[in-house]
């Protein structure tokens, strides 16, 4: 999977502890047991990913630090 350069730059610009926390959050969300999505859910997921890629390509991004701060408040 390709990561848009602006997103990669933001992530790499984070302090090491924030990068580690982001990695742990992503690993926890992805897991290693596959998923239990049916075909309709998987189709919605892929459509959402494509919208995210289009947003990134158009410059509609949220700073990684903002996302981490929001997750910490939850």
Q: How does the average pLDDT of the chain come out, rounded?
A: 85
In a domain, 27, yes or no: no
Q: What is the pTM of this model?
A: 0.47
Confidence class for position 33, pLDDT limits 50, 70, 90: low
Range of the domain at 48: 39-74
Integer Cα distance of 34 and 40 in angstroms? 16
Number of separate domains in the chain: 1
In a domain, 18, yes or no: no
Q: Do residues 7 and 59 make contact, with C-beta atoms less than 8 angstroms apart? A: no
pLDDT tens sequence across 49-63 = 999 889 988 998 888
């Amino acid at each position: 999977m390709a990561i848009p350069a602006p997103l990669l730059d933001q992530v790499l610009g984070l302090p090491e502890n924030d990068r580690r926390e982001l990695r742990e959050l992503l690993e926890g969300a992805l897991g290693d047991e596959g998923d239990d999505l049916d075909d309709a859910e998987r189709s919605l997921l892929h459509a959402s990913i494509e919208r995210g890629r289009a947003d990134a390509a158009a410059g509609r991004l949220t700073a990684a630090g903002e996302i981490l701060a929001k997750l910490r408040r939850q």
